Amino acid sequence: MISFISRRIAGAGAVCLGLTVVLFILQHMSAVDPVRILVGPSAPQSVVEEARHRLGYDQPLVVQWFHYLQGLVTGNLQTSLRTQRPVTTDLGQYLPASIELALFAIVIATVLALTLGLLTAARKKGSGLFSGGLLALSSAPTFLLALLAVLLFYSTLHWLPATGRISVDNPPTGPTGLLTVDGLLHGRLDATVDAVRHLILPATCLAMLPAVAVGRVLRSSLTTAMGSEYVRTARAKGMSNSRILFRHGLRNSAVTPLSMAGLQLGTLFAGLVIVETVFAWPGIGLYLDQSIPTADFPAIAGTTLLLGVGYVLANTAVDIIQTVLDPRIVR
């Protein structure tokens, strides 16, 4: 198990290195001049070169990469060209928002997926309709989904806010950076409620794709489980359907959906970038989105690496949970 995890982490490390290399080369090839953007279009060339030198962009690629790696080990991801602050500082600032959004999305996705799976497995009426509808929703491009949601729930129905994390005055700050939690910690229920209202739309849009992906797998493995012989045994014992579903069905069919969930985290991260842009959600997705047009390489690389690491950790966790869930799994 330990060796397995370490192998996984090592692999991830390798990728991150590889990724930086790729990015460096690509960025060098690509016909963009970040420095020019940085100092401003009409600044004279002298000023540009000045800045280029200051930022070390005039050094050979290998040297630049080496410096980047040096920074990496000391947790320093260079300075963003756009915000001119250390990328780590920026990420540190935007991360909580993304985490909160992602967590909510995960919760919603889980609920949807479970409903999808259980409805079908329990052969409830309308399960087909439900899953069909969900599938249809998840087939729409996320940004369209998001805009339609805004149009409907914000400008037409006036039910939910469309942008930002919170709209109460002087919202609670610290310790966690998750407004919902901090609200509770500071006894600011209004803040928590408001934060949740802001979360609903983006989180739901974000949850759609993963929910369906996981839901389908869950549905399949649940159906298999419910057709299995140990479930027949349980029936023969005279247990009620629902008890069987939860006691015998669910746990045995959890493994596959879990790994799917792990994979879907990738989709979720990608969705963050889009959803945060539409809903003006101040997270790393938005950060990445704003870094792209200015070719803010340190920011792009930093964000990607951060998300990558998160992804690996999450999937490793998934594997551990699985071994707990199913005693037969050995790694």
| From 6, 63, 66, 85, residue interacting with another protein (rule: CB under 8 A) | 85
Q: Is residue 57 a contact residue for another protein (CB under 8 A)?
A: no
Given a contact cutoff of 8 angstroms between Cβ atoms, the answer to whether 142 and 208 are in contact is: yes
Nearer to another protein, 186 or 247 (CB): 247
Q: Residues 242-261 vs another protein: string with x where CB under 8 A?
A: -----xx--xx--xx--xx-
Nearer to another protein, 64 or 252 (CB): 252
303-326 as b/e: b if 16+ CB within 10 A? bbbbbbebbbebbbebbebbeeee
CA–chain centroid gap for 329, Å, is 27
What sign for the dihedral angle of Cα 308, 309, 313, 319?
positive
Q: What does each C-alpha distance from 224 to 52, 278, 323 come to in angstroms?
A: 61, 40, 20
Nearer to another protein, 111 or 152 (CB): 152
Cβ of residue 102: shortest distance to another protein, in angstroms? 13
| From 59, 83, 114, 177, residue interacting with another protein (rule: CB under 8 A) | 83
Q: Is residue 15 a contact residue for another protein (CB under 8 A)?
A: yes
Cβ of residue 70: shortest distance to another protein, in angstroms? 20
- Residues between 169 and 208 with contacts to another protein, criterion CB under 8 A: none
Nearer to another protein, 51 or 108 (CB): 51
Given a contact cutoff of 8 angstroms between Cβ atoms, the answer to whether 110 and 208 are in contact is: no
- Residues between 110 and 169 with contacts to another protein, criterion CB under 8 A: 123, 128, 135-136, 139-144, 147, 150-151, 154-155, 158, 161-165, 167
Q: In a 10 Å sphere around its CB, with 0-12 CB exposed, 13-18 middle and 19+ buried, how is residue 299 labelled?
A: buried
| From 32, 107, 111, 317, residue interacting with another protein (rule: CB under 8 A) | 32
Size of the site for another protein (CB under 8 A): 134
Cβ of residue 43: shortest distance to another protein, in angstroms? 4
Q: What are the DSSP calls for 87-99, one per residue?
A: HHHHHHHHHHHHH
Q: Residues 258-297 vs another protein: string with x where CB under 8 A?
A: -xx-xx-xxx-xxx-xx--xxxx-x---xxxxxxxxxx-x
Q: Which position has the token pair 């920074």?
A: 71
Nearer to another protein, 186 or 235 (CB): 235
CB within 8 Å of 104: residues ≥ 6 apart: 199, 203
Amino acid at 271: G
Q: Is residue 236 a contact residue for another protein (CB under 8 A)?
A: yes
| From 21, 47, 69, 196, residue interacting with another protein (rule: CB under 8 A) | 47
| From 2, 73, 157, 330, residue interacting with another protein (rule: CB under 8 A) | 330
CB within 8 Å of 90: residues ≥ 6 apart: 80, 83, 287, 299, 302
